[in-house]
Each structure stands twice: as C-alpha cells, then as structure tokens.
Amino acid sequence: MKILVVGGGGREHALAWRLAQGGHTVVAAPGNPGIEQVARCVPIGVDAHEALAQLAVDEAVDLVVVGPEAPLVAGLADRIRARGVPTFGPGAAGAQLEGSKVYSKQFFARHRIPTAPFAIAHSLEEADAAIDRLFHGGVVVKADGLAAGKGVVVAATPDEARAAARDMLLARRFGDAGATVVVEQKIVGREVSVLALTDGTRLEVLPSVEDHKTIFDGDVGPNTGGMGTVSPSWVSDDLAYRIRHEILGPTLRGLAADGIDYRGVLYAGVMIDAAGAPYLLEYNCRFGDPETQPVMARLRGDLGSVLLGAAKGEMPVAALGWDARVAVCVVVAAAGYPSNPRTGDPITGLDTIDREVLAFHAGTARAADGTLVSSGGRVLGVTACGVSVDQARAKAYGAVDAIGLAGKQVRRDIGARGRRP
C-alpha cells in the first residue's frame, strides 16, 4: 500500500516508521529529518488543506493518515475523503470532541459518560459562580477551543482559578478559543491515556499509556505536551474493561446516535480516582504524542491494513498483536521549553546509540550545511523496550545520555511511578 502521513512530529515519525516496517510505501507531508529515513517527505504544511488533498490524489495513495488535531478540527479529513481517498481521522463534526471543550462536556453528559461535574461560563460572573460551586480542594478551568495544549489550568485555590478565567475570558490569552470556558470539579487520582481505533462501529482499544506531563521530575513545574511515556501502563485488565465499557463504548454509541460517522482515533484522557473509578477528563481526536511512540514500538501486525479498514468502515478487529515487553519513551526537550524553547542547537550522538533504541524525531530540522539541529520544544522521543520497566528505562536513558543537545532538558523519572493505582 502507499500511505500519506500528514504531520511532522514525533507521533508521525512513529506512525511512518511502523507503517514502513509493515512493508508499506510512505509519503509524508511535511515530515521531518527522522521521517525522511523511512518515507519520502513533501514540503507541504499541515494547514495547506487543498494542496494536501491534491497530493493524495496525485500520488494515488491508498490511504491518508492525518496526525495533528488542528487540521482534523478544520475539516481536512472531510476534504480528502471528498476527493475519494480513504482517510484515517475524523471529520470536522467528530473532531469537535477535541476542538470544543463545551461540545465535548455536553456530549459526555448527554450520553451518560462518567466525567467531573462542570459548568459553562461565557462571562466572569458565570465563571466566578461556577468556581465557588465546584471548588472542592481544586478546580479546573478550560478554554473552550484549541489552545496548543495550554488551555487547561488546574487551580489549587479559587483565586488561582479566577485569575485563569480572567486570563481567558477578559485578556483573551487564547483569542476566541477562550471566549467561553468550562469550569469543572477537580478529580484527584492518577491519569492514563487510552487510545482506541474505530471505524464508527467497532473499537480496537490499544494498550494503555501513562504520560508525564510536567517539565520537571516529581510532577512539578509547568505542563508540557508530555515529557515521556510508558506502555503498557499500571492499569489492570479489570480497569481496562471498565474504561472500554463505561467510556469508549458509550462514546461510540453516542457518536452514532448523534449522526457522526467517526473513523479515526478516540484518545481518552482518563482519571482514576482513589476508589478506582474511571472518569473521562477529555477526548483527543488523534494519536497522542508521546503516547504513540511506545505503542508503535510494541505493535505487531499490519497497522496499515487496520487503519485502511477503519477509514473504509470495515476495520478488522483483534488484528494487532503486542510485544510482551514494556516500552518507555523519554523526551529530549530543548532549553527553555515549554515557555520559550530555543531552536537551532546541533544534535549529536544519534549514530552512537544502541541499535534497538528508537529515536523518534519531533522538533528537528536540517541546517543549511546539513547539520541536524533542534527546531521545536520537544526534540526527540527516545524509545526502548525491555522485559521490565527498569530494563526499558535503562536502555532509553543510556541512549538519551549519549545524545548531545546544548541545554537539553530530560525528566529522569519516566516510568518510575510504579504500578500501584
């Protein structure tokens, strides 16, 4: 098969690598220097929807896989499907699950999916009243629209929550994305990412993943897009069963009841509370980053045919297998990330790392002289499998330590939380 992967980050490198390993010919737009090792990269950006649709037609690809959320929310999958090319990724209607926090919370409530109590606020007065009502040791304020992963504030005090609401509603920190906010009760617990592939009627739930969101060890400091992941996570089979039957199943039925034909990834951010009950925090409408990296490292079977089946509404179920080992992904981030990442620093040592370790490129570029340099906040996702979490960690950190990047930031505790709920 010939497959077009849209995107140019670590998630797309992991997807392109796995698809190429499956014997498929991969074209990527725009891709990156890592993706270039497994695919032909075409310099078309993810916002150039007409050019991407035309590329899919001109290249006569069998399948398009759309990586990032912004083009999905803006309707790229609809546009490519309208040209007759099977596309893995929801249309604009389904992508609202990620594109609008108001839409998604109302969807959860309408379809009785367990989620934190919430209120929708269009004004400061409404936000303040909601914060007073919902604050129980913490409260979460979320901008309605896409905000590059920065639109969620977990406030420890009512004042902090009010400041966040002001920042969004009055100062318009996220522009129109913050013209409406969702205020929700904070659920205390341990979070897990559960990704499922779907063709609109069937679900293929992938092994769960635990992300590490803050920049510093010990879960402190500002939030990032994710500093590292471990898969499978600590989630038991019983809990995985509950997540499937209490969250993912009702979601799929809800989408169908609402007339939405959803073909792509349902990525559930799930909080497990102290009693072991799962609550849906949010949905993303695409593969997670860096969740995809360890999942692809462990995946066995033909991902391409499963994604094509999903795109066509005829997804084969239980067609994927999994390496019995654990995979750990450690993100190498740039100096200044997440607030002000420095770019243009040379990256060295990649040719010296253990051949079994996968260094997925996220924010890398070629300088004019061909040198590999950093070009974004998260630079590499260094991924290794091991018979235990400790072995996977040792392999991943061994490679991370061999990679040179001035001012690099790395969390040293990825996968070190243990397996207790």
- Nearer CB in complex with ligand GLY: 378/395: 378
User: Hey, is 243 helix, strand or coil?
Assistant: helix
The two tokens of residue 381 are: 């996702």
Shortest separation between residue 135's beta carbon and ligand GLY, angstroms? 26
Shortest separation between residue 338's beta carbon and ligand GLY, angstroms? 12
What is the largest distance, in Å, between two alpha-carbon atoms of the chain?
A: 59
Q: Does residue number 104 form part of the binding site for ligand GLY (CB under 6 A)?
A: no
Contact segment (CB under 6 A) with ligand GLY among 287-295, 305-313, 358-366, 402-410 equals: 287-295
The residues, any chain, with a CB within 8 Å of residue 27's CB and separated by 6 or more, are 2, 3, 4, 5, 39, 40, 41, 42, 55, 59, 61
**DSSP per-residue string spanning 295-312:** HHHHEES-HHHHHHHHHH
- Nearer CB in complex with ligand GLY: 91/225: 225
**Using an 8 Å Cβ cutoff, are 230 and 210 in contact?**
yes
Report the residue from 211, 246, 302, 345 that binds ligand GLY according to the rule CB under 6 A. Answer: 211
The residues, any chain, with a CB within 8 Å of residue 23's CB and separated by 6 or more, are none
Binding track over 159-198 against ligand GLY, x by CB under 6 A: ----------------------------------------
Q: Does residue number 59 form part of the binding site for ligand GLY (CB under 6 A)?
A: no
Q: Does residue number 291 form part of the binding site for ligand GLY (CB under 6 A)?
A: yes
**Using an 8 Å Cβ cutoff, are 149 and 225 in contact?**
yes
- Nearer CB in complex with ligand GLY: 224/374: 224
Residue from 61, 65, 67 nearest 84 by CA: 61
Strand segments (E) across 12-125: 25-30, 40-41, 63-66, 87-88, 118-121
Shortest separation between residue 57's beta carbon and ligand GLY, angstroms? 30
- Nearer CB in complex with ligand GLY: 246/291: 291
Phi, psi of 300 (to 5 degrees): -120, 150
Counting Cα atoms < 13 Å in the Cβ hemisphere of 375 gives 17
Contact segment (CB under 6 A) with ligand GLY among 163-171, 253-261, 284-292, 333-341 equals: 284-292
Residue from 140, 145, 94 nearest 117 by CA: 140
Contact segment (CB under 6 A) with ligand GLY among 39-47, 76-84, 113-121, 282-290 equals: 282-290
Shortest separation between residue 367's beta carbon and ligand GLY, angstroms? 28
Report the residue from 12, 184, 204, 289 that binds ligand GLY according to the rule CB under 6 A. Answer: 289
Binding track over 138-157 against ligand GLY, x by CB under 6 A: -----------x--------
Report the interface residues with ligand GLY, using CB under 6 A. 149, 211, 225-226, 284, 288-289, 291
